[in-house]
Chain A
Amino acid sequence: MAKTAKTGERSNPGQHDGFLGYRNFRWAWRAGALCVIAIAGYLLMDAEPRPNGGSVYGYAAGTIAALLVLWLTLLGLRKRAITSGNWSLKAWVSAHVYLGLAVMVVATLHSGFQFGWNIHTLAYALMVLVVVSGLFGITVYALLPRYLSRNRGETTQKQMLETLKALDRQINEAAQPLSEVQARVVQMSLDGSRVGGGLWRRLSGGRGGCGNQRALSRLRGLRRQATDVELQMLDRMEELLQRKAVALAQVRRHLQIRAWLSVWLAVHVPATIALIAAITAHVFSVFIYW
């Protein structure tokens, strides 16, 4: 699917396009054409007593939709098996996106708009869930990368975490001469400023109950009883905690964006597996009761 570079070079500078606009929306056009044909067929085929999955048209549309779903699922394999061959994952993703949207149209037409509380409609509902979660995925893929880039600048995730560790070491050292009360406050920052954690925590940016934040506000309160010498040390400590707050904010934002970029897969992939199971059941039941 990828255009091979000319001999004498390995790169393909003309090919700088995203997965959505790949090759001037090649797959959008193809998927659009598929939809147009499917709709035209639906309108032209005069199924009796009413359009349904059991008509000739219904079987054709159903087969196409089922095969498409299976092919779309193969993306999971494709993206992990980068071996030989002349293909590009971007092209696959582009096709996956547009054909996945087309499945929605084809499968709906296949149903003939007959819904009920049965395995057939369950399969349909799962498909809708998969497509909708996919749409969400497209949206975050299109919007979030620039924020991820802007937030991290030229810092890598590893460096961010190392910065935190280094700051913790410095805070620990600077806390040695402090009084017990003061040290206990600083300890909050060392013990209680988690990054990452559960899904919800990551998605929300996980600031809730941040030990560093509490340590900062409590430390300010302690200034009133501090001696001049202690004040100097507290100034230094406050500066360190401030720096840690900035570093924490960056890591958390980083993890937050990454969580949003991948959270939809937690719906998309299991729903796909359920969908395939439901389709299997749907096909079997149709053949058994035929």
Chain B
Amino acid sequence: MVKQRGGRVGTAVHAVCGPGATRGDVVEGVHRIAILGSGPAGLSAAAHAAARGVSHILLEKSDHLSDTIFRYQRGKHIMATPSQLVVRADVSFEPGKRETILDTWSSEAAKHKVNVRYHAEVKSITGAKGDFSIALSDGSVVRAETIVLAIGTQGNPNLMSCEGGGLSHVQYQLDDPAEYVDEHICVVGGGDAGIENALGLIADRAQGNTVTLVNRGADFARAKEANAKALLAAQEAGHITLLTTAETTLIEPGWITVDTPEGATRFRCDRVIARLGSAPPRKFVESIGLEFTSAAREAFPKLSPTFESTVPGIYVIGALAGYPLIKHCINQGYDVVEYIGGAVDLKPADEPILEARLKGLPGNRSVAQWLEFLRQEIEILRGLSPLQMREFLLDSDVRAYQSGDVIFKRNSVGSSVFGIASGSVEVEVGGGRKRMTVTIPRGSIVGEVGLISGRPRGATVRAAEPSILLEIPRMAALRLMASVKEARDTVNRITTERQLLQMFGSGLTPDDLTDVLETAEIRQVKTGEAIIREGEDGYDIFVVRSGSMVVEKQIGGKPVFLSYLPAGSYVGEMALIDGGRRSATVQAAIRSEVVRLDGDRFRALLRRKPELEEKLRADMADRRKVNGYIEEQKGKFGDVVDMYSAVADFLVEQGIGEATDVLLIDETLCIGCDNCEKACADVHDGLSRLDREAGRTYAHLHVPTSCRHCEHPYCMTDCPPNAIHRGPDGEVFIDETCIGCGNCQRNCPYDVIRMDSRPPKKPDLISWLLFGVGPGPGEPDKAWRAKHKPKGAEPPKVAIKCDMCIGKAGGPACVRACPTGAAIRVSPEEFLTVKRMNRGE
């Protein structure tokens, strides 16, 4: 591919200015097609042009074909995704080693007699359809009737933006991992490139590299599944350190500082390999006159369904068109030559798949019309190119609903998002007499809560009129949000608006919030970082979107824990309503996301909506009462308050801040009988999901190794069969479709998931009590299991974890089985309150 390093190509170019601007010494006649870049897309186009006998020229900047693939790590295995897509082209492509694939392409290019010109670096393009002049850096000019831009995006990598990102040991490319020996290397970026580089660096343990991979997200949604798995396996084996939901904050010679959910960490680092993706070489492309879909850095050129750009005669295919996958590139090479040759009814290779998917839907649209229709109508899809839209639809489903049809039911399990392409839907909110419906119009989305936490559906949604909805699976939606900024922004805006409406109630409508939301800002808050500091000025309102906050106040020179704010609450109303300085410090208990609402605009909203002000005043009075009570107690019984505060801090440190329901053991009552573990095993096929003795303890309050049912479950982030769900009461559970891959076990930071197979059935309790038959209550020991193994294959090992005894009326068996009342299950927002202090605990 033609490399566009740092916009070098684009520097001397001007917009299209008629034919013959720069002639130089023209050496050739006019080609029918000039193809820029010999990567999979360009090579495929050239091969097809050659096969069809169309006069063409393939311009390649380097001295070999397909520079991007050429520059892949030596011996790298190249995958062929998406697997459901068929390749239709004159070059073949099978998954395999880099070398094999490059050899195949070279021989196929020779076979088809492709007209390649190496060392052809393009400086500028002038002219118009029918007679373009392509000026090369050696001074010569190539003329062509049409141009196919297949230059990819690799020449324009996204750069490290943190302090020290410009240092010389920060690189954006890794040619041969075998070059590096005994180095501390930090790979930044959890996409395929970053993962493959990291795995390459540790492939030969004898090289002695210490490799750390820093990923901004919690999961590796952008990477191919096989890559993500290999990476997690390497971590399991202890060959690599992974820092997820982490961000690099500082690079110094020999050191790097990374911010993680547990706080900032600084470690040795001799080399930083940043693989943060790349953006189209915009300057060059725009200089030719092409328009982009938006001003965002990640935006792609505007294209017609035939790949033609806004400049007639110039076509864009491959990664520059928004398609980084080799299979797509190869197909597009074939297609674009067909289009240039005048094909009007050429169906893309994936057309039959999409046709089948869209069959039977009302509206009588062609696939292309469907794609355009969905993209235009559904807001979050607007940033996609028609070609990205095509791939997107391969993952999604379009459904038609009649008026009154149920789209999903409250409490049903499901984590997909629905985009409303036509019609509208009604969401049933509240229950019983207070039941009412809220209409969500065309263009918006519904079901977005599943995106974040995988919680079951919070409400029943029906079609309000005949409607067409696009169902987007969770992973596809996450990928969309990760790769298209507009989609991310839109989802964020919609979720924020809905959260505010739900939280404040008070008869607010979306229109009331327009003004406030205009300046609303989503902010990431690190563990321990304060969003409000006691004594400072300011009256903005903060809404906790994810994570949780603790409120502390300095009393008698010590910070005293006042209250706990879970996701879905707001803070900052005191200074807003009463004026004055902030009365307490609010800091993140765990890495969180907050929405900052401008104080002035919020005041204006309160003036317009007195009901809202009333609600805020009532909430404020409650909070004042609690704070006042604690301050008063502190005056009288300092020790009690100190203890209360210290225990709260301990629990927050143990990650209770991201828990929804956690098992605690009051060790002043625990007699160590392990009845909790036995009961757990007995209600769950003989396998206990908790380890009572293990875990941290503070002031006789013990946090055993047992699931906390996190607000944003780590285990759920990468479950291939999507077997982990949230039950109606918030329980995170694994269903029977588990394939035993162990991803969830590796992802859980609290070590509460184990892999095991179901033990044989035990004899009943009475025969044990009276005749001593069987191992008795609780988990059978290994010897008994081995002896009573059923004949035939052993049942497979699957992931098991606490499901809070889902579906059992009595609630969790661990708590029910505790003879002394030591075992309690608590949700942090209820446990971390002053109620505890009253009991002097």
Contact = CB atoms under 8 A, between A and B. Distances in A.
Interface secondary structure of B, over-half rule: loop
A13 B819 contact: no
A86 B809 contact: yes
Interface residues of B, number: 54
Contacts, number: 153
B816 interface: yes
A258 B670 CA distance: 11
Interface residues of A, number: 48
Interface stretch (B207-215, B252-260, B637-645, B676-684): B676-684
B817 A16 contact: no
B810 A87 contact: yes
B373 interface: no
Nearest to A140: B671
A146 interface: yes
Given A16-B666, A145-B670, A9 B661 contact: yes
A82 B816 contact: yes
Interface in A244-290: 258, 261
A9 B826 CA distance: 9
Interface stretch (B63-71, B221-229, B267-275, B694-702): B694-702
A16 B824 contact: yes
Given A82-B678, A90-B821, 18 more contacts: A4-B810, A8-B728, A9-B729, A9-B827, A13-B825, A16-B826, A18-B820, A83-B683, A85-B809, A86-B810, A88-B818, A89-B675, A93-B819, A145-B672, A145-B820, A154-B697, A156-B693, A261-B671
A18 B824 CA distance: 10
Given A7-B729, A86-B809, A149 B824 contact: no
B808 A15 contact: no
A158 interface: yes
Please name the 6 residue pairs, one residue from A and one from B, whose CB atoms are nearest each other, closest first: A149-B667, A11-B825, A82-B679, A156-B693, A86-B810, A13-B830
B693 to A, nearest CB: 4
A221 interface: no
Interface in B715-746: 728-731
Given A10-B825, A83-B683, A146-B668, A88 B700 contact: no
A196 to B, nearest CB: 15
Contact of B821 (A18, A87, A156): A18
Interface in B790-826: 804-805, 808-813, 815-822, 824-826
A11 B661 contact: yes
Interface string A6-41: 011111111111110010000000000000000000
Interface string A45-80: 000000000000000000000000000000011011
A161 interface: no
Contact of B819 (A19, A153, A157): A19
A88 B813 CA distance: 9
A40 to B, nearest CB: 32
Contacts of A231: none
Interface of B: 661, 666-672, 675, 678-679, 682-683, 691, 693-697, 700, 702, 728-731, 765, 769, 776-777, 804-805, 808-813, 815-822, 824-827, 830-831, 835, 839, 841
A14 B830 CA distance: 8
Of residues A5, A17, A77, A82, which shows the largest number of chain B Cβ atoms within 10 Å of its Cβ?
A82
A255 B820 CA distance: 20
A253 to B, nearest CB: 13
Contact of B694 (A9, A16, A149, A156): A156
Given A82-B679, A82-B816, A90-B818, A149 B670 contact: yes
A2 B769 CA distance: 26
A17 to B, nearest CB: 6
Interface of A: 2, 4-5, 7-19, 22, 76-77, 79-90, 92-93, 141, 144-146, 148-150, 152-154, 156-158, 258, 261
A118 B730 CA distance: 61
Given A16-B666, A93-B819, A145-B670, A11 B809 contact: no
A173 B106 CA distance: 64
B818 A89 contact: yes
B811 A10 contact: yes
A10 B730 contact: yes
B661 A10 contact: yes
A99 to B, nearest CB: 15
A22 B818 CA distance: 13
A77 B765 contact: yes
A20 B604 CA distance: 55
Given A85-B810, A145-B668, A7 B815 contact: no
A93 to B, nearest CB: 5
A21 to B, nearest CB: 8
A79 B819 contact: yes
Contact of B824 (A4, A11, A83): A11
Contacts of B831: 13
Nearest to B696: A154
Contacts of A87: 810, 816
Contacts of B812: 10-11
B769 to A, nearest CB: 7
Contacts of B826: 11, 13, 16
Contacts of A84: 808-810
A77 B766 CA distance: 9
A79 B679 CA distance: 9
Contacts of B682: 82-83
B310 to A, nearest CB: 53
A19 B777 contact: no
B666 to A, nearest CB: 7
B815 A88 contact: yes
Nearest to B806: A10
A143 B557 CA distance: 36
Contact of A146 (B667, B804, B811): B667
A17 B831 CA distance: 13
Contact of B777 (A80, A88, A156): A80
Contacts of A76: 769
Of residues A13, A83, A86, which shows the largest number of chain B Cβ atoms within 10 Å of its Cβ?
A13
A37 to B, nearest CB: 28
A150 B667 CA distance: 9
Contact of B811 (A4, A17, A154): A4
Contacts of A80: 678, 765, 769, 776-777
A28 B673 CA distance: 24
A82 B693 contact: no
Contacts of B731: 10
Nearest to A258: B672
Contacts of A158: 693
A84 B679 CA distance: 11
A23 to B, nearest CB: 10
Contacts of A10: 661, 729-731, 804-805, 811-812, 825
A19 B820 contact: yes
A8 B683 contact: no
Given A149-B667, A154-B697, A8 B730 contact: yes
Contacts of A85: 809-810
A15 B824 contact: yes
B810 A2 contact: yes
Contacts of A149: 667-668, 670, 697, 700, 702
A181 B661 CA distance: 59
